[in-house]
Chain A
Amino acid sequence: MAKVVIDALVERFRDAVQGDGVTGAYTGAGGDDAAFVRRERLVEVCQFLRDDPGLQFNMAPYITAVDYLGQEPRFEVVYNLLSTTRGWRIRLRVKVAEQDAVLPSVCAIWRGANWFERYCFDMYGITFTGHPDHRRLYMYDEFVGHPLRKDYPLRGRQPLVTELEVPEEQFRGPGPARRSE
């Protein structure tokens, strides 16, 4: 479907698109085409995808991150893009290392990316340079750590007001009851 897009992308940014084989792109299980993109060329690729008259990816419906704990590089940020004029959807995947979890912000390209990038920062601790309002989105400022990282304790609650103490045996299921430092 959007194979045309990936082909155009690979042709134009042969060095920017990385990954398996020659193309660096594949068709996912849902039928959407995806491409691995290098971090340094991300803004350039996004600008091209939005502004090219044949593509017009004018909307970023969802941006999220994945924590592949134990792999290197550890994180991956996924940009889901939609062309409302063509009806195409593609996915860009950018690999980010844990020690250097910094990405350029795409807020200047899609304004809707603002909260998604704040979400990625809040939940995974990935920093976006050039973001106009770089704060946590869901959690409070006193919260330590990033809760959707796989090494965050399952029940690592950090209450703001003093709570009644509850015996440990009242907790059900796996995972530590409290957040261990």
Chain B
Amino acid sequence: MSTELDAIPSIIPTRRDDAIGALEKMVSKGLGWARKYSLFQYPFVTACCGMEYMTLASARYDLDRFGAALPRFSPRQADLLMVVGTVNCKQAPILRRVWESISEPKWVMAFGVCASSGGFYDNYATVQGIDRIIPVDVYVPGCPPRPEQVLDGIMMLQAKIQGQHHQLTQGKPLPVLGQAPRQR
């Protein structure tokens, strides 16, 4: 059933798109703001980079200033997967499964050079960078990285989260106000 607005071509839909776009922008901005300051990390710590991670999380470098204070040791409660250290072929299915267990939205940080590219472990046992298994948002190089580098990576990730766009309609036709959804 059509309304009288549908009779006017190409103007009203544009305005409607504009309205939707403005609303999406507002929602995206708010969601991004909320999400970037409440990163719950899952530390997948496998190697010596874990020491740097502990320094980072404790008082001197204090990840809490960036809202990423609480490490969750269940992937169900986390939204930032920090892969800290070398991942070998035997561990790759575990990492993959942990990543699949994290609910959306989720982000991944490769902490240190081993997680980023395999590092100097170019041998029979080591995965040459976790981006061969799971998608990665931020790479932090260093062996191990300084805590400042990781803080820089966190800030880059926050910028990325702030800039992410959230579609409200996801391509489906909008319901017209005051009407039941159209039957097919």
Residues in A lying within 8 Å of B, measured CB to CB:
138-140, 147, 152-161, 163-164, 166, 171-173, 179
Q: Which residue of A lies closest to B92 (CB)?
A: A161
Interface centre among B123, B124, B125 (most CB of A within 10 A): B124
Minimal beta-carbon separation of A153 from chain B (angstroms): 8
B124 touching A152, Cβ below 8 Å:
yes
- Main SS at interface, chain B: loop
Query: What residues of chain A lie closer than 8 Å to B90, measured between beta carbons?
Result: 138-140, 160
Q: Which of B47-103 contact A (CB under 8 A)?
A: 89-90, 92-93, 96
B124 touching A147, Cβ below 8 Å:
yes
B92 touching A155, Cβ below 8 Å:
no
- Number of B residues whose C-beta is below 8 Å from A? 15
Residues in B lying within 8 Å of A, measured CB to CB:
89-90, 92-93, 96, 122-128, 131-133
Minimal beta-carbon separation of A174 from chain B (angstroms): 11
A155 partner, pick from B93, B96, B124, beta carbons under 8 A: B124
Query: What residues of chain A lie closer than 8 Å to B126, measured between beta carbons?
Result: 157
Q: Which residue of A lies closest to B90 (CB)?
A: A140
Interface centre among A139, A140, A160, A172 (most CB of B within 10 A): A160
Query: What residues of chain B lie closer than 8 Å to A140, measured between beta carbons?
Result: 89-90
A161 touching B124, Cβ below 8 Å:
no
Query: What residues of chain B lie closer than 8 Å to A163, measured between beta carbons?
Result: 92, 127, 132-133
- The CA of A109 and the CA of B113, in the complex, are separated in Å by 43
- The CA of A149 and the CA of B156, in the complex, are separated in Å by 44
Query: What residues of chain B lie closer than 8 Å to A173, measured between beta carbons?
Result: 122
Query: What residues of chain A lie closer than 8 Å to B92, measured between beta carbons?
Result: 159-161, 163
B127 touching A156, Cβ below 8 Å:
no
- The CA of A157 and the CA of B118, in the complex, are separated in Å by 13
- The CA of A160 and the CA of B88, in the complex, are separated in Å by 10
- The CA of A179 and the CA of B126, in the complex, are separated in Å by 14
B89 touching A154, Cβ below 8 Å:
no
